[in-house]
């Protein structure tokens, strides 16, 4: 064995030792229970299009329009197309590259000083050369460098697809929550209008009693303040309603005119309790977790790609063709030329660039694993929190309904007393206001529990619409 061979083999052994990195798997090193800590009784799995549970044709139409026309989803679909094209580009070098060439060369030359009879100032020469060739080149992917790059690009495309599904889920949830908020605002507006009329009556009644000397001026100021506060609330509700209508237009990809017509006069009933399944199922159901997992796979393939760059690159090339001054003989095999070549290239010294590339890819792979684990933990926390919150909000809703019932009973008794000549009209007005405020609180609690259910649908993975997949 000569000196050069010994040095080459020693260098290859060193490279092999530097590239022995482990490809990480998507694992979470914690004990995951078989069920969630809060498991409702009589729970059902929601349909894929979970918003249909709210029984609103208008909401169903809006959701479909969002999935079809939202510009953010269209941009996500375009990013999927670009990622898939990049995956095809990365895998193209696994196959041989074949090319065909055709050329013609017309040349005129002058030769001087040649002692030929009649040459005069020089001899002119013209000729045309025709050529055609077929070339093939192929890098033999012995160390899986090209294949690993293709796998990395494929996993990146799958991650983009999962992210597009996640964006669709988020927009569907945002659309449903805006619709629910818009319904509540419409109902709150009716309550506020009624309350404003009561405050106005109370203000007039207070003014009359002040003029008769029964009440002091501070009672008028208090009544005017209450009336003004309701007017302020009414203005804010009107402003919020217009903003919500325009937000729905934007989500649908339409000009924000804010002219949506609702099809409900009450908030939707709460759908049946959700069967959340097992926590381990969330890894396959949630698109953000799937995206993190695909990026981990992609980073592992990139590590293998960088490791493959440490080894020799082996390629072969071949070329065959013809070259002749007679076009009719362009396909004549007697004028054929060809060559066959093989090449091997081994990096020897690049100031540690390739080894640093392996170190970088390995660090990025560990970062992708930690991101995957963090995404799983946050997802489980969201489901656990929302399942518990729904029960707490349901309890609060029951109390607000009880409060509303009590306020109604008190108002009924005060009216009966007033009709018998007992009691004050001012007290009666206040009791009516308390009832309206209890109704307003019940609407708010109802809306919160519906929004929590929407968030729970989203936390469990939402729908998987095909509209974002090109």
pLDDT score of 329:
67
User: Which residues in 10-36 are b (16+ Cβ under 10 Å) and which e?
Assistant: eeeeebeeebebeebebebeeeeeeeb
Enumerate domains of the chain plus CATH numbers: 14-94+143-310+350-459 (1.20.1600.10), 96-140+312-345 (2.20.200.10)
Above 60 in pLDDT, residue 1? no
342 forms beta bridges with 316
Above 80 in pLDDT, residue 330? no
Strand 97-111 with 123-140, pairing: antiparallel
pLDDT 10s digits, 247-306: 999 999 999 998 888 877 789 988 888 889 899 999 999 999 999 999 999 999 999 999
- Cβ-in-10-Å burial (0-12, 13-18, 19+) of 348 comes to exposed
Question: Measured between alpha carbons, how far is 145 from 6 in angstroms, rounded to an integer?
Answer: 25
pTM over 0.85: no
Angle subtended by helix axes 353-419 and 287-308, to nearest 10: 170
Residues 320, 133: contact at Cβ < 8 Å?
yes
Q: In the numeric block, which tokens belong to residue 45?
A: 């799995």
Q: What is the rounded average pLDDT for all residues in the chain?
A: 86
Query: Which three-class secondary structure state does DSSP give residue 125?
Result: strand
pLDDT 10s digits, 172-204: 999 999 999 999 999 999 999 998 998 898 889
């Amino acid at each position: 064995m000569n000196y050069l061979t010994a040095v080459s083999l020693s260098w290859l052994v060193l490279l092999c030792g530097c590239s022995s990195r482990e490809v990480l798997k998507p694992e979470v090193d914690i004990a995951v229970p078989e069920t969630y800590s809060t498991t409702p009784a009589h729970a059902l799995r929601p349909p894929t299009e979970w918003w249909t549970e709210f029984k609103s044709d208008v909401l169903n139409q809006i959701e479909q329009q969002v999935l079809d026309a939202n510009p953010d989803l269209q941009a996500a679909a375009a990013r999927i197309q670009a990622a898939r094209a990049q995956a095809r580009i990365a895998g193209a070098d696994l196959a041989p590259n074949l090319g065909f060439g055709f050329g013609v060369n017309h040349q005129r030359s002058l030769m001087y000083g040649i002692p030929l009879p009649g040459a005069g100032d020089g001899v002119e020469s013209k000729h045309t050369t025709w050529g055609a060739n077929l070339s093939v080149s192929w890098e033999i992917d012995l160390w899986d460098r090209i294949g690993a790059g293709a796998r990395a690009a494929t996993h990146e495309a799958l991650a983009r697809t999962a992210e597009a599904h996640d964006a669709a889920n988020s927009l569907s949830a945002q659309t449903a929550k805006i619709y629910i908020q818009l319904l509540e605002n419409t109902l709150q507006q009716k309550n506020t209008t009624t309350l404003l009329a009561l405050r106005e009556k109370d203000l007039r009644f207070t003014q009359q009693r002040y003029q008769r000397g029964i009440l002091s001026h501070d009672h008028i100021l208090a009544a005017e303040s209450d009336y003004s506060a309701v007017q302020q609330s009414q203005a804010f509700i009107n402003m919020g309603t217009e903003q919500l209508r325009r937000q729905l237009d934007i989500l649908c990809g339409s000009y924000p005119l804010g002219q949506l017509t609702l099809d409900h006069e009450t908030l939707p009933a709460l759908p049946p309790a959700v069967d959340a399944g097992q926590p381990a199922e969330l890894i396959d159901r949630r698109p953000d977790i799937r995206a993190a997992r695909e990026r981990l796979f992609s980073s592992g393939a990139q590590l293998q790609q960088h490791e493959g760059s440490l080894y020799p690159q082996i390629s072969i090339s071949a070329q065959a063709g013809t070259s002749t001054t007679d076009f009719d003989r362009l396909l004549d095999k007697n004028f054929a030329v060809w060559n066959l070549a093989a090449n091997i290239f081994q990096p020897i010294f690049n100031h540690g660039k390739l080894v640093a590339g392996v170190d970088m890819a390995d660090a990025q792979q560990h970062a992708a694993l930690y991101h995957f684990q963090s995404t799983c933990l946050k997802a489980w926390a969201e489901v656990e929190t929302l399942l518990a919150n729904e029960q707490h909000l349901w309890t609060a809703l029951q109390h607000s309904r009880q409060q509303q019932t009590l306020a109604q009973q008190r108002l009924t008794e005060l009216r009966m007393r007033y009709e018998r000549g007992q009691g004050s009209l001012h007290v009666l007005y206040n009791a009516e206001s308390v009832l309206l405020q209890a109704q307003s609180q019940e609407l708010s609690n109802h809306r919160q529990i519906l929004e929590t259910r929407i968030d729970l649908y989203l936390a469990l993975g939402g729908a998987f619409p095909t509209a974002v997949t090109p």
